[in-house]
Amino acid sequence: MPVTDPVVRIGGRPAVPRGDTASPGHRASFARHVVLFTSGKGGVGKTLVAVNVANALAQRGLRVGLLDADVHGPSVPRMLQLAGERVRWNDADRMIPAENFGLRVMSVGLTTPEADTPLGWRSAVATAALVQMLDDVEWGPLDVLAVDLPPGTGDVQLTLAQELRIATAVVVTTPGVVAIDDVRRALRMLLDIGVPVAGVVENMSGFVAPDTGIRYHPFGQGGGRILARDYGVPFLGEIPLDPRIGAAADAGTPIAAVGDESQKAIFAALASRIWEGLDPPEGEKT
């Protein structure tokens, strides 16, 4: 059964008909491809993956936007050195995306008076704000709109499945059993509502001790591959447990942009696999 919702109101404007998951709307008509980054569970590094893969796509010469759809816990601005930015409006009364590291970015984190202002919104308000960040932002033409989803399988996920023609989704997990259990639900939801899945990325997959060269797996081993196998989707790759990756994210300098060649190569490979799997394959930026 497709999930459907009849109307949404934004800022007192007239009701706008919504699509449903079987016949979604086309609110992101400015983007050739919409790519979701999801996990179903917090703390697995989904935003880190979204930011770095989006940056790696931009390094290919693509026009890339990044929508932070985690309205209650927006962390994209922090990871792109935009935490001090606040939204600006153009003469047409549309929001102007912030820009850094080759990405056009919109997040509710750019709209609050202070960085730690809590948004105690009920789900109807949260989803209306999300729709507004699609409708009322001067995104310009994009090759890819990357969407960083919040954890879970709730209103935000369903709203985007109703409102966007999603090209594909990237599912992020860590290797551990508890994380995999939650991510299974998110992956099954995507498949049940007909969202194409590019595949699974395993974050924090292990590290090599610099003094001994021994590889350790503190969060388990192989969970991402098992998840991909169980649901018949591709396994896109592993991201090591590297403190330099996390430190770069905290500093707002994505490792895909500032890391060494081996670190950049991890996200370049993920970006290549995702881009090459988009349908229709229209090549690079036109």
Average pLDDT, the chain: 88
Q: pTM (2 decimals)?
A: 0.89
Domain span holding position 137:
38-276
230, 27 contact by CB (below 8 A): no
The answer as to whether 11 is a domain residue is no
- Into how many domains does the chain fold? 1
Whether pLDDT at 7 is above 70: no
Query: In this structure, is residue 205 part of a structural domain?
Result: yes
**Residue 1, pLDDT score:** 40
pLDDT for position 9: 35
Higher-pLDDT residue of 77 and 120 is 77
* Residue 22 covered by a domain: no
Residue 32 belongs to a domain: no
Residue 19 domain flag: no
Does the residue 17 lie in any domain?
no
What sign does the dihedral 19-22-23-29 (CA atoms) show?
positive
6 assigned to some structural domain: no
Per-residue model confidence as pLDDT tens digits over 174-195? 998 888 988 999 999 999 999 9
Whether 67 is covered by a domain: the verdict is: yes
Q: Percent of the chain, pLDDT > 70?
A: 90
CATH of the domain at 260: 3.40.50.300
